[in-house]
Amino acid sequence: MSARESHKTAGFVLRLLHYGESDLIVTFYSSDFGKLKGIAKGAKRSKKRFANVFEPFSLTNIIFTRKSRDMLAFIESCEIIEHYDIVRRDLEKTLTASYFIELADHFCPEGKKNEKIFDLLQTFLALLGTGKASDALVRFFEMRLLKFAGFEPALDHCISCKAPIANGSSYYFHAREGGIKCASCAKPERYDQPISAGTVRTLLMGKDMDIDKIKLIALTDSLALESRNLLVGFISHVLNREVKSLKVMEQVRKFCT
């Protein structure tokens, strides 16, 4: 039997699973190991060893051991780096942060390091702390996550005739083919929703825009709706599952109006 190796990394808490009488199985998104699953022995009883750390989207310092890469990590200790207290004080921000980490969880396979996704979470959670939980922020997070996870939709040209985006034109998104088509290639049905060139350009811009500029962007209602339908539709097509936090977010909005 090989000796357990000890590791240290920073990680966001993605998910918790109650295991037996006193243990928790925690899924993290870590900077050095990508998505990482570990068992915290006695976490439900010992408030001292794991005080207040296993809360959704908290950033923690994890020390763990494991025998091999494909085995459950044994969490020796876990300390808080950032609670995102400002996010937790605001319902919309809490819901948005939950959505971010749920997407990161669904899009990332276990054990595959991707520093860009770790940085993306850190950057966007920080943005949530300093600014509003705006539509633009959510959409640009989705665009970037799709890109880093290898599912970037083709938005800069028609996927059939390859013609680049032209101002004033309408486009149609084809989730199955992962991109947009111009009106003449798409042959839309009556119920197909067109997308304006403005929406497409905004999403393309948001994908690479400077972080400090994101908070300055406010989407018009029609732009927000179009880009939401496009990205949420595409994400649910790619994942082929319900995104729970999105459902809750929409329930809350309905409930509070």
Binding site for another protein (CB under 8 A): 15, 18-22, 44, 48, 51-53, 55-57, 80, 83, 85, 88-91, 94-95, 98-99, 101-102, 242, 244-245, 247-249, 251-252, 255-256
* Residue 48 binds which entry of Zn ion, another protein, none, CB below 5-8 Å type-dependent: another protein
- As measured in angstroms, the least distance from the Cβ of 251 to another protein is 4
Task: Of 144, 147, 149, give the one whose Cα is nearest residue 211.
Answer: 144
The residue among 5 and 55 lying less far from another protein, judged by its C-beta, is 55
Q: Which of 43, 53, 59, 182 binds Zn ion (CB under 5 A)?
A: 182
The residue among 126 and 165 lying less far from another protein, judged by its C-beta, is 126
For 219, the 3-state DSSP assignment is coil
Residue 166 is a binding residue for Zn ion (CB under 5 A)? no
DSSP letters, 28-54, are EEETTTEEEEEEETTTTT-TTTTTT--
Residue 185 is a binding residue for Zn ion (CB under 5 A)? yes
* Residue 197 binds which entry of another protein, Zn ion, none, CB below 5-8 Å type-dependent: none
Q: Which of 73, 117, 137, 158 binds Zn ion (CB under 5 A)?
A: 158
State the DSSP H helix or E strand holding residue 24, giving kind and residue range, or none if neither. strand 23-30
Give the whole-angstrom CA distance, residue 156 versus residue 197.
Answer: 10
Give the count of beta carbons closer than 10 Å to the beta carbon of residue 226. Answer: 23
* Contact in structure between 53 and 38 (CB atoms under 8 Å): no
